[in-house]
Chains A and B, each alone.
Chain A
Amino acid sequence: MVKHHLFWPLVMLGALLLFNLLYSPDFFSVQMRAGKLYGSLIDILNFGAPLILVAIGMTLVIATKGIDLSVGSIVAIAGAMACMTLSKGTDQNMLGLVLSAVGIALVLALALGLWNGMLVAAFGIQPIIATLILMVAGRGVAQLITGGQIITVSSSAYKFIGAGSLLTLPFSIFIAGAVLLIAALLTRKTALGLFIESVGCNPEASRLAGIRSRVVMIAVYMFCGLCAGIAGLLLSANVSSADGNNAGLWYELDAILAVVIGGTSLSGGRFYLLGTVVGALIIQTLTTTIYMIGVPPEITLVVKAFVVLLVCLIQSETFRKTLVHRFKTRRYPAEREVKRHA
């Protein structure tokens, strides 16, 4: 059981929840008000949904031994594009307008993903560098779209995407769930997942084995862009506004963190979608917990730093070996004596 890839992430999530239970017993209480469920757990799911989305896309990218630093910028661009389209319309509640705003934003996100994928797969540029370009320029583009201002929209239909509720639960949970389901079905019920893992192990060998490595890589980056785009819609719809400068700031780092906590190795070739979801939930729970305890939220960063280090150390084979070695070699003088003469 300890060997299962979900074991450590779940233990960590459990420990966090247990701490919350001990610290404030009403953490787990969920209330029904006006046909909606309220409570800390629901909040974690609701606010965690964009992160889960971005992290799912990131998981697949990391599985191909890549990385996508531009997701935060794509989040900002998608939100900005949708809000800009909406604010230009005459009747912001018109369903057609909202749908076209969402559509334009998602197509743009896909195009940005395609751009990343082309740089990585067609030009052979290192993923960190290739996506760094969009990470730097993307913020500028987002501000260009919004004209450097925070655009507010007053569309209740658009607001529903981020703040509405369905079957007493926040709507964003359903979106994240649907994307997770699609990703899981596509990668685990078709050969696609195998292709992705194979490309992550060795793109050249996969190509010789008859897999279209380039197409797989481009598709993965496009999917990641799409996920980031949806997350951008959720975030901007939740507050009914788009902020080119701050929307999705540091999302790339949180998403990578979630993926790594979930047990997916940065060296590619293996991925765990459920692990990623648990990782994203851990990060969101951590943030919520820190807010609740009343420490300045900025200190989350210190905690995050230690979590990252801890998780990476546990994943590092050298570190585990050192630990095991320490544990196994007992310091009996006689044993050392035997070893010396052996």
Chain B
Amino acid sequence: MLKRQYIPIVVTAALLAFMFAAGSFRYTGFFSLQVLLNLLIDNAFLLIVAVGMTFVIVSGGIDLSVGSVIALTTMISASLVQQQGWPPAVVIPLVLVLGAAFGWLMGAIIHYFKIQPFIVTLAGMFLARGLCYVISINTITIDHPFYTSMAQTKIKLPGGFFISISVVIALVVVAAAIYLAHYTRFGRNTYALGGSESSALLMGLPVARTKILVYTFSGLCSALAGVVFTFYMLSGYGLHAVGLELDAIAAVVIGGTLLTGGVGYILGTFFGVLIQGVIQTIISFEGTLSSWWTKIVIGLLLLLFIVLQRLLSARRQMQKA
């Protein structure tokens, strides 16, 4: 018998399978492994961001700054590599450290001054987006050989299929996050923190360290997603990844993570990202549908999953009572 806690994740996976099957029946050329792989190629950065966001949401917080941190990362990379001539081997670790530091700072403010995560990360979002424009208000194109080769390299799979390096990075992040969430102390602490902060504190868990680390991890993920996004777009621009935080939150929720914290799976987030990708693919295959349908469908899916979660948790409470 299926455990109740796995129901949302099974629903998500079934929905993904159903959508993919529906697309395959409706459009010729839809049912191929390459279409599935393209989902990963086009959404690698979203996947990485959503993984970091899953940790934050499981811990009971929220991080609105992720899209802006991506933009800032592309901007810093582009200006350092292109205008200052720094080697990518220095720039990439530097932006990763910067992203992590940014997350750490927000986490510290959230924890030590007890300000709502929503507001602090909102300020972080403004700050990162604004700093992009301080660097430059124009697009900076990157033509450094390392970045172009990272963008164009195709890793061949048997059967003539291919993936990009970004996909490998994203899958490694997902695997690492699954290990981190379910097999380490940090992961357990995060779930405990999201379940109830005061209980976690009374149990003697390191609440301060966990909370700050969660935001640091999200910042690191955003910066890594920014690096991947730079490979994808080959440019730095202040308007990159506008509204990506909403896509990431939507993917996490569709993946079955409770926004109240304490419940959720990285694998669910993975499916959530793929569902968003499938919606976009279906809309582009349909041709006559306009892009705004993506937003409406994602909104409806959000509603569906939130109501589903609500029903499940209501039933659990009924059983307890």
Contacts and interface: CB of A to CB of B under 8 A. Distances in A.
Interface residues of B, number: 45
Contact of A305 (B113, B127, B253): B127
A316 to B, nearest CB: 4
B113 A313 contact: yes
A126 B299 contact: no
Given A123-B310, A143-B290, A312-B123, 5 more contacts: A148-B292, A299-B130, A299-B134, A304-B123, A318-B113
Given A123-B307, A266-B116, A139 B130 contact: no
Interface size class of A (residues with CB under 8 A): 35 or more
B86 interface: no
B246 A132 contact: yes
Given A123-B310, A126-B259, A312 B120 contact: yes
B306 A140 contact: no
B296 interface: yes
Contact of A133 (B109, B123, B131, B299): B299
B118 interface: yes
A124 B126 contact: no
B161 to A, nearest CB: 32
Nearest to B68: A301
19 contacts: A125-B307, A126-B259, A132-B302, A133-B299, A135-B246, A139-B295, A140-B296, A148-B290, A148-B291, A253-B122, A298-B137, A299-B130, A301-B129, A302-B127, A304-B123, A305-B124, A308-B119, A308-B126, A318-B114
B299 A136 contact: yes
A128 interface: yes
A128 B296 contact: no
Contacts of A260: 119
Given A129-B253, A139-B292, A141-B296, A301 B127 contact: yes
A302 B295 contact: no
Interface of A: 67, 123-126, 128-130, 132-141, 143-144, 148, 244, 253, 256-257, 260, 266, 296, 298-306, 308-309, 312-313, 315-319
B293 A304 contact: no
Contact of B123 (A125, A128, A296, A309): A309
Contacts of B213: none
Contacts of A137: 295-296, 298-300, 302
A126 B307 CA distance: 11
Contacts of A266: 116, 118-119
Contacts of B260: 126
Contacts of A312: 113, 115, 119-120, 123
Contacts of A305: 123-127, 130
Nearest to B238: A298
Nearest to A302: B130
Contacts of A141: 296
B292 A129 contact: no
A159 B249 CA distance: 38
B183 interface: no
The majority secondary structure among interface residues of chain A is: helix
A163 B292 CA distance: 30
Contact of A304 (B113, B126, B253): B126
B292 A143 contact: yes
Interface of B: 62, 109, 112-116, 118-120, 122-127, 129-134, 137, 238, 246, 249-250, 253, 259-260, 290-296, 298-300, 302-303, 306-307, 310
B70 to A, nearest CB: 15
Contacts of B118: 67, 128, 266
B114 A132 contact: no
Contact of B246 (A136, A256, A304, A319): A136
B236 to A, nearest CB: 14
Contact of B306 (A125, A256, A257): A125
A133 B302 contact: yes
Contacts of A67: 118
Nearest to B311: A123
For the complex of A and B, the 4 pairs showing the least CB-CB separation, nearest first, are A137-B299, A301-B130, A140-B295, A302-B130
A76 to B, nearest CB: 11
B34 to A, nearest CB: 28
A134 B132 CA distance: 29
A308 B123 contact: yes
Nearest to A267: B116
Contacts of B295: 136-137, 139-140, 143
Contacts of A140: 292-296, 299
Nearest to A300: B130
A318 to B, nearest CB: 5
A303 to B, nearest CB: 8
Interface centre among A123, A148, A312 (most CB of B within 10 A): A312
Contacts of B126: 253, 301-302, 304-305, 308
A140 B113 CA distance: 37
B244 to A, nearest CB: 12
A132 B126 CA distance: 19
Interface centre among B116, B119, B126, B246 (most CB of A within 10 A): B126
